Amino acid sequence: MAKRRRSRSFDSENWSYKEQASSSGDSEIEDASFGLKSKPSTSHKRTLTVKRKKPKADASTSHISDVQEGYVDVPHHPKSAHSISSPAVLRTALLKWYKTVHDIRGMPWRRPYDPNLGPDERAQRAYEVWISEIMLQQTQVATVIPYYNCWMEKFPTIRDLAGATIDEVNRLWKGLGYYSRASRLLIGAQKAVRDYDAKLPDNAKDMEANIPGIGRYSAGAICSIAYGEPVPVLDGNVHRLLSRVLALHAPPKAKSTLDILWTAARTMVEIEDISVQSSSSTELRDPDFQTPQYPGDINQALIELGSTVCKVREPDCPGCPLRPWCSGYQNSVSTNERADTLIDIEDSCRICEPVLAPVGVTSYPMKADRKKAREELDVVHVIEWHPKTNPDNRLFLMIRRPESGLLAGLYDFPASVDVPANITRRDQEAMPSEILSHLVQGGAFLPSKPSNRTAVGNSPSQTEVLIIAKIKPVGDVLHIFSHIKKTYRVQWVVLEGGVSPPAFLENQSLYNECPNKKPKKKKRAVKDVNVKPQINDQKAAIWVPLEEVMETNMGSGVVKVWNITKKLWESPTDS
């Protein structure tokens, strides 16, 4: 929601924009690669007697009985227990399974790899895979499919996307959330058109380094699927799957953990010592599985298996093609038979931590310590204006967010952010006049309380006077972000006066910078080809007719606010 910083006379309020934001300014996921933002562990030495918060036992472990509650020391095991020693047999089983399921979910971007495609055709495939991978971040497949189809109809090539405006991109993205993904797609396409002849780089290293918004996971997925490059992927599904296959119970975001998992993923996709090779460098055959083995198929199979079989809860172990080699599964069915073996201390694993009994497949990966989402209250002002003589000409004030950063270029309603939970009704009613004083001409003279027209008179000259005719409470809207539990306390504010809506002040803005906020480190400048809105002069505030509000580019939280507000006049009980 749009907002401005509260004046010093209101010390209890904070007007800085905090929706889905962190100290770095934008907490949206840039890539699914667990990638490299994690700080490395200060020491690899861990004791098996460290006590952690007791996680909840999972239903999938209920078949194991007579195991004492509490933590079980992980039996001493070598480092090699967390590596894949015979990847060929796992690949064969995995790809045989994948061949039977790859079309079940009807994903339009998933097609067989064709080694005979030319450079332009592979580049087009890379574009299609790129769009799907970015859309799939934090979004379910069933939700993405219609968005992907609409996107490819509107922007069938990377040149079409590069020539679009941020308004067009956001309009197609509306409802998917995490809007920075859309803006990064636009900027990335522009970079590809300008620097790479409208093609994404054909190797993961250059793609990750030079295309905005593409991290290690996305680069690996795109380049393996479209270009046949043998590079690994590690998203949440593969992270969970490999943690169970390797029985790795260590802090999931620690550098040492991620290094092991990336190595295992790379082992799966890089085939060595294969006696049967095709003439194509990307077509690899296993002696026991004569169907060509392509890196993209291996990576997609790992992702599909983690997503549909090796699920977070209630994994389908009987239907898993990797069950014979899954150490996590073996541990779950032979807990009482395990015994420590003599291991050279130099070869002993030092990163695994105690497991909560009973031990099951869902004991892996180790649960991350999650911070409780903080709770915040915002007062949102749905501000309407209509002339006294024509109350059916209803216009609503909407604020355009800056063209970069969180929710770039989207519209929302003015809001007072992160106010005290015990805020009074009187304080809430005083907020709209302050906001309007910074936005519209005549706003500085508005009373803080609603006035009726009788107080100022009904003569033609008096009806030109702008007044707040009504402030009516609407209700609360709950909107949950990854780390913030937002409550929007909505109020409907009605302005009257004049024959046209109040004109906006020059250089108006509700997005003042936080004075104590450290500036971001400047990145190498990226010249945008056409990141411009379709509205004239990039106005920061506009009046939107009632029937056009839902057509405006806005986030799902704003849609919730609008839907609950319009019930006031659509309900037959409205007074």
Residue 7 domain flag: no
Residue 407 domain flag: yes
CATH of residue 152: 1.10.340.30
Residue 300 domain flag: yes
Q: How far is the CA of 506 from the CAs of 240, 414, 431, 512, 540, in angstroms?
A: 53, 17, 21, 15, 10
Output the 3-class SS for 249-267: CCCCCCHHHHHHHHHHHHH
Contact assessment for residue 269 and residue 299, using Cβ atoms and an 8 Å cutoff: yes
DSSP state of 42: S
The packing angle between helices 166-173 and 141-154, to 10°, is: 150
Tokens 């007044």 belong to which residue? 467
Contact assessment for residue 521 and residue 14, using Cβ atoms and an 8 Å cutoff: no
Distance separating alpha carbons of residues 234 and 266, to the nearest angstrom: 9
List Cβ neighbours of 267 (8 Å cut-off, separation of 6 or more). Answer: 83, 84, 87
Please say which residue of 227, 247, 279 terminates a domain: 227
Distance separating alpha carbons of residues 38 and 252, to the nearest angstrom: 10
Closest CA to 262 of 418, 416, 36: 36
List Cβ neighbours of 527 (8 Å cut-off, separation of 6 or more). Answer: 194
Distance separating alpha carbons of residues 466 and 445, to the nearest angstrom: 9
Same domain (yes/no): 503, 562? yes
Same domain (yes/no): 392, 523? yes
Same domain (yes/no): 156, 238? no
Contact assessment for residue 419 and residue 12, using Cβ atoms and an 8 Å cutoff: yes
Same domain (yes/no): 91, 183? no
Residue 1 domain flag: no
3-class DSSP state for residue 286?
strand
Burial of 537 (0-12, 13-18, 19+ CB in 10 A): exposed
Distance separating alpha carbons of residues 121 and 46, to the nearest angstrom: 50
The packing angle between helices 119-136 and 180-195, to 10°, is: 160
Residue 544 has phi, psi (to 5 degrees) of -115, 125
Please say which residue of 174, 196, 227 terminates a domain: 227
Distance separating alpha carbons of residues 241 and 261, to the nearest angstrom: 10
3-class DSSP state for residue 59?
helix
CATH of residue 440: 3.90.79.10
Distance separating alpha carbons of residues 504 and 510, to the nearest angstrom: 12
Residue 375 has phi, psi (to 5 degrees) of -105, 135
Tokens 């659509």 belong to which residue? 570
Same domain (yes/no): 385, 522? yes
Is 133 a known active-site residue? yes
pLDDT at 511: 57
pLDDT at 90: 96
Distance separating alpha carbons of residues 538 and 167, to the nearest angstrom: 11
Distance separating alpha carbons of residues 123 and 107, to the nearest angstrom: 19
Closest CA to 185 of 218, 153, 216: 218
pLDDT at 449: 72
- β-partners of residue 541 are 399
Residue 16 domain flag: no
CATH of residue 258: 1.10.1670.10
Same domain (yes/no): 412, 547? yes
Residue 356 domain flag: yes
Residue 145 domain flag: yes
- Name the token pair of 193: 């058109």
Same domain (yes/no): 262, 327? yes
The packing angle between helices 295-308 and 87-101, to 10°, is: 70
Same domain (yes/no): 542, 509? yes
Residue 575 domain flag: no
Mean pLDDT in consecutive groups of 10 residues from the start of the chain, 575 residues: 44 30 36 51 38 41 42 75 93 96 96 95 98 95 97 98 93 89 95 97 97 96 98 97 96 96 97 44 50 92 98 96 95 62 73 85 90 90 91 93 72 92 93 90 78 52 77 93 87 92 78 43 43 49 95 91 94 59
pLDDT at 63: 37
Count of structural domains within the chain: 3
Distance separating alpha carbons of residues 55 and 46, to the nearest angstrom: 19
Distance separating alpha carbons of residues 470 and 473, to the nearest angstrom: 10
Same domain (yes/no): 183, 274? no
Domain enclosing residue 392, as ranges: 374-570
Contact assessment for residue 505 and residue 441, using Cβ atoms and an 8 Å cutoff: yes
Distance separating alpha carbons of residues 541 and 490, to the nearest angstrom: 19
Catalytic hit among 13, 133, 229, 496 = 133
Same domain (yes/no): 275, 296? yes
pLDDT at 52: 40
Same domain (yes/no): 239, 223? no
Q: How far is the CA of 26 from the CAs of 17, 276, 355, in angstroms?
A: 11, 49, 34
Cα dihedral across residues 321, 324, 327, 328: positive or negative: positive
pLDDT at 509: 61
pLDDT at 520: 47
Same domain (yes/no): 158, 84? no
* Residue 567: its H or E element: helix 556-570
